[in-house]
Chain A
Amino acid sequence: MKSCLIVDDSAVIRKIARKILEELNFEIAEADDGRRALEQCRAQMPDAILLDWNMPQMNGIEFLRALRQTDGGAAPVVIFCTTENDVPHIREAIAAGANEYIMKPFDGDIIQSKFAQVGLL
């Protein structure tokens, strides 16, 4: 069973994403901020990370840059999932090492399609 860390400051979004990903057979962990997500990754690297951009203490792009510098941090497949849906944001995310990018609002089909593309399904 593959593991996925859902990083989003909205409890509602985490709940929706958890439900979709559990149906796709992922073991789920959650974090409500980039800083806590980074601590969790240092303790145990997940196979995949679904990552929000705007969060209060450490945002998604800061988290991603820090993650990729961390031991073993190159391994997780990182999929942004954000309302930031313009080309400059997407390019910045790819440059920082994001593997895929989901623009909110999303649904189960989009999550499934994106996770399949990066080889997680």
Chain B
Amino acid sequence: MKPEDFELLRSLVEERSGLVLTKEKLYLLESRLIPLARKRGMAGLDKLIREIRTRREESLLTAVTEAMTTNESSFFRDIKPFENFRKFVLPKLVEGHAAGRAIRIWSAACSTGQEPYSIAICLREEAAKLGGHRFEIVATDLSVEVLEKAKVGMYSQFEIQRGLPIQILMKYFKQVDEMWQVDASIRAMVKFRKLNLLQEFSSLGRFDVVFCRNVLIYFGKATKKLVFDRLRRIMLTDGFLFLGGAETVLGITDAFCRVDGYRGVYQMLSEIKPSWPSTSGTKENLAAQAPGP
């Protein structure tokens, strides 16, 4: 690939998704964009690049961006964060929580739905300890294609075997020919929305918990900082942020700090918490802008 072609694709993808493509990812450009070119009736990558350069047709630019953003995911990915969610975060959320307001959880960059459905399954498994509190799960991704798949909740045998304990599979999935579909009752717990993390996301309302795992890792430092700043503004002061195993706030933001003993779990630092009082009444007002369940 010519350097100017790589530069064209690199800047297109970064501008639209924040994803930073390095030279080492050249093979990914080829392996993902050649099938896309064929699907659109083009002979190869050269033709695709020419189309991008000359016509800049919106649907093509979107398709290229979506093809390049990784959609690697699995149920209960990394196991531990979901244990931390069940055993540490959920009890903390429920403790002293005013009845009435829903506890809101956001799965950012949810890909094909495994993360929000894993969260929903945790809530069902822990239902007896949740004291009847209402929960709302919002899941977003920038790709329309993966969101469509996520909503249907249909997974291959390979996908359901990565991370999903067999007892959970039996309890919350039904077999449909060669595929496995998440129960309608679990699907109903998750609201899927299209959202680009590079754009303003305050319209989602405020959240008690944000899962933003394995997505910032693909962003440049300035973009990471921007996203952390926005996250801080949409999170409730005593909320929790989950980051991926290889992600950190160190050297990027002072807004969040690690929760000792619970890897991957972060909280807002008290000294920079926004200065609203943390009475439940105020929180209800803050969350009121969010759509009800």
- Would A85 and B163 be within 8 Å (CB), given that A90-B170, A91-B170, A116-B79 are in contact? no
Residues of B near A91 (CB, < 8 A) are 170
Residues of A near B162 (CB, < 8 A) are 109-110, 113
State A100–B165 Cα separation when bound (angstroms).
Answer: 7
Interface string of B85-116 (1 = CB under 8 A from A): 00000000000000000000000000000000
Interface residues of A in 102-121 (CB under 8 A from B): 102-103, 106-107, 109-110, 113-114, 116-117
On chain A, the number of residues with a Cβ less than 8 Å from chain B's Cβ atoms is: 19
Instruction: Check B74 against A113 for contact (C-beta < 8 Å).
Output: yes
Tell me which of A87, A98, A103 contacts B161 (CB under 8 A): A103
- Would A106 and B166 be within 8 Å (CB), given that A86-B175, A117-B79 are in contact? no
State A16–B285 Cα separation when bound (angstroms).
Answer: 58
Instruction: Check B161 against A110 for contact (C-beta < 8 Å).
Output: yes
State A101–B158 Cα separation when bound (angstroms).
Answer: 13
Min distance, Cβ B154 to any Cβ of chain A, angstroms: 16
State A102–B166 Cα separation when bound (angstroms).
Answer: 8
Residues of B near A103 (CB, < 8 A) are 157, 161
State A115–B168 Cα separation when bound (angstroms).
Answer: 16
By beta carbon, the residue of chain B nearest A107 is: B158
Q: Is A28 located at the chain interface by the 8 A CB criterion?
A: no
Interface string of B13-57 (1 = CB under 8 A from A): 000000000000000000000000000000000000000000000
Instruction: Check B166 against A100 for contact (C-beta < 8 Å).
Output: yes
Residues of B near A86 (CB, < 8 A) are 175
Q: How large is the interface on B (under 10, 10 to 19, 20 to 34, 35 or more residues)?
A: 10 to 19
Interface string of B163-201 (1 = CB under 8 A from A): 101110110000100000000000000000000000000
Instruction: Check B166 against A90 for contact (C-beta < 8 Å).
Output: yes
- Would A94 and B166 be within 8 Å (CB), given that A103-B161, A106-B161, A110-B158 are in contact? yes
Min distance, Cβ B161 to any Cβ of chain A, angstroms: 5
Min distance, Cβ B98 to any Cβ of chain A, angstroms: 36
- Would A102 and B79 be within 8 Å (CB), given that A90-B170, A91-B170, A94-B167 are in contact? no
Min distance, Cβ A99 to any Cβ of chain B, angstroms: 8
- Would A101 and B163 be within 8 Å (CB), given that A86-B175, A117-B79 are in contact? no
Interface residues of A in 72-86 (CB under 8 A from B): 85-86
Interface residues of B in 127-169 (CB under 8 A from A): 157-158, 161-163, 165-167, 169
Residues of chain B at the chain A interface (Cβ within 8 Å) = 74, 79, 157-158, 161-163, 165-167, 169-170, 175
**Contact sample, A vs B, 12 pairs, CB 8 Å cutoff:** A86-B175, A94-B166, A94-B167, A100-B165, A103-B161, A107-B158, A109-B162, A113-B74, A113-B161, A114-B161, A116-B79, A117-B79
Residues of chain A at the chain B interface (Cβ within 8 Å) = 85-87, 90-91, 94, 98, 100-103, 106-107, 109-110, 113-114, 116-117
